Structure 1
Amino acid sequence: MTKVRLLTGAGSGIGAVVAERLIERGDELWLLARDAGRARELARRFPGARTLVGDLAEPARLSWALGQQSPPDRLDALLHIAGMVELGAVGDLTPKIWQETLAVNVVGPAELTRLLLPQLRLSRGHVVFANAGAGLQAKAEWSAYAASKHALRALADALREEESAQGIRVTSLYPGRTATPMQQKVHQQEGKPYDASRWIPPESVATALLTALDLPPEAELTNITIRPTP
């Protein structure tokens, strides 16, 4: 039976690589887009993929948005790869930045998971959270992002315990700095030159994600830490 996967963050970086690989191997792919224009872009980029429109930055509206559409009836995997980052000292970050970061990085994924749990339970599916090294350790200027990723780790750990009896597997990925457009933005915010060759290729993170996804149902990779090679 063809596997059904729903993916956030397919527009660039790790998410785009994962989407390409899933399409290539014949999985049924659903892509969440923040608006209709983005959905059209993703449909052109990934022929054969289906799209749903829902903005992770507005978690309270996701239920209404999905209710106006037709999500898949069963779901083998929900892959949370979308995210955002804004650096800044605690003394400088505004409530708006905190709220947007927490919404996109943890509250949106939590709500999307809640809404799709019936389909995941039906398939004894798999939920993957693309976390970050900041989800394990917070550093100066990274408070909002790291807080959201620490919360995402808690979400994943709790979900794993709650849904294990339903056969749902939960994996958290903790990649170090990865050569993506987000990383380029981080370097701009840090005022540092960006050299993609210094960081983990997104293809390597995608390989780790798919390894967890493709394990036989008798095994589960719960936490995967990935670091750049010196």
Structure 2
Amino acid sequence: MENRQPSDAEWGPRSAARWPRRVSPARAAVLDLLKGQTEPLSQAALVEVSGLHANTVREHLDGLRRRGLVRRLRAESSGRGRPAWLYEATDNESTASEYGGLAAALAAAITHTSERPAEIAAAAGEEWGHELARDRGAVPAVPTTARRHVIGLLDELGFEPEAGGSPDQVRLTECPLLEAAHRYPEVVCAVHLGIVRGALEEYGADPTGARLVPFAEPGACRLVVPPIEEPGA
């Protein structure tokens, strides 16, 4: 049988189904509860229907809101005191489409107005990476776990990371902003690498050596994150 060479369109990752793609099974269960309701629920009501502790429900709701999967709105006032917050699931597919369009527009603006678009994009990505890691409760104390935490973050964001051909390589098999990355790779891919570097720093690790090779092979981009050791190890 003749060996078929991959076409240009096959190089690089697939488009992620949504942004962000993954949440934990526990948060997915809370999200499914909200999706099954005909009207928004208060946190107290969600505690009652889920059987979870109030602190656990609040943590899941905060995480789902950060990922754009749940919106919060005020209940109508019914007397003295501040009205309760109500929560409902969002239309994530619509949100993903709007997010991709916004990302492409911002990437175009940076490309056309800046003399150093990649540098600016990387700096923005690093700031975003710090924020995302803090949202996940990053503790900058154990550098040896930083790499694992950051790969977990990429999984949550929809990159579907897989082990690469060597211990320092990770294959990113999906991209939540694939269309924008094809049009403006210098900017979008720099943002993604910046996220990795910022998150590594937030977890207490030196990001030196981390690099991203966009559309490096059929089915994936290649992320290089050298194994991280404790100082003096």
TM normalised by structure 1 equals: 0.29
The structure with higher relative contact order (CA 8 Å, sep 6+) is: 2
